[in-house]
Structure 1
């Protein structure tokens, strides 16, 4: 009987040890992993960008979990995206500004993001400011999401590039995110109409993944 008890105990120790190793591997952040442990995509090749990514598990096909340097919001981050370290700016938890460059096979995009301590009730002021920045009379639509409001307006440039100006207001706490998402087609001209139509849907779906992290949570 003692032999079987020792054998069962030994098996349990091995199993528990294996589970502990698995848990440690799963809890490692991408910045702590070696290059051969990471997905073979541009977002993980750039060390600065990797510091914002929270896992190597996709949130949905082609996207990974991103946490703002302020800790105030999270979102899906495109596999082909890179956060520019030279233009990155942050002031404690109050302000953060950076640009994401996204390079896909048929589309090149630039996403200008700013987190600000915006308060509810000043949405029209922010939207006017976004319009002024574009030097365009933008017509914003509003989408009510959980714990936030999304304002978005399409625009098109003379060279054919297009995108969205957007503002996301936290409806639970202080905080707003100002976004300019600009895309250009790099495919053959006859394909660009279809490519840009798909990109329009891509941008809107991505905007809805941006969620605030409130202290009450």
Structure 2
């Protein structure tokens, strides 16, 4: 009888111990819930509020990626060894549908700035001028405009990010679309501009 009580007691201890074990936390952001997107992240921790660190599968560059972003696995996703990569991500940010395309190249033709800006304009539909800024590592050519239809507004931010020391460069297109009737979405225009500019300025290229 005493032996039976010992077994019963041990059983309750084992069950109680299992119940007290903490379950692994469920992914809390869209980027972490998607395994394909997660495979591009250097860490599951945000490097700054609202952003993870993305690393290209070419190894050629890193950038900030919004925590809401989900990278398309099939549509628009291409890679040619270490010389070319194209990705598209979608997200819902500040009540807008955000679509972003990044095309990376590591070829001598990236040095032809005007030709690449013309290509960026034609591929994005952007029809405005570019302003230029630079940091120690990159030169950034950027533009912005608002595209209007009967029912929607799309805030468009484009950039050509060129490494100073190498042939590496990125074509960047960010579009945030709101319904015209959703004024709360439209009131977030400045947030989208800040996010697009933050991402463009976050690019770092390997040497």
- Please give the range of the TM-score, normalised by the shorter of the 2 chains: 0.7 to 0.9
Structure 1 runs, 4 residues or longer, greater than 3 Å off: 35-39, 118-121
C-alpha displacement of 1:105: 4.6
Larger Cα-atom Rg? 2
- Superposed CA RMSD in Å reads 2.0
1:95 aligns with 2:84: yes
Q: How does 1:19-38 map onto structure 2 within 5 Å?
A: 36=24
Q: Which runs of 5+ in 2 are unaligned?
A: 1-22
Secondary structure class of the residue paired with 2:176: strand
| 1:75–1:121 distance in 2 versus 1, CA, 3 Å | closer
| 1:135–1:193 distance in 2 versus 1, CA, 3 Å | closer
Structure 1 residue aligned with 2:34, among 46, 49, 60? 46
Structure 2 residue aligned with 1:134, among 96, 114, 124? 124
Partner of 1:55: 43
Q: Which runs of 5+ in 1 are unaligned?
A: 1-34
1:123 and 1:176 map into 2 onto residues whose CA distance is: 10
Q: Deviations along 1:37-66, whole A, 9 cap, x unmatched?
A: 564111011111111111122110011111
C-alpha displacement of 1:187: 8.9
2:139 and 2:26 map into 1 onto residues whose CA distance is: 34
Secondary structure class of the residue paired with 2:127: coil
Number of corresponding residues: 180
Partner of 2:93: 104
Partner of 2:144: 154
| 1:79–1:201 distance in 2 versus 1, CA, 3 Å | same
Structure 1 residue aligned with 2:60, among 72, 79, 99? 72
| 1:66–1:187 distance in 2 versus 1, CA, 3 Å | farther
Secondary structure class of the residue paired with 2:44: coil
1:123 aligns with 2:116: no
C-alpha displacement of 1:98: 1.2
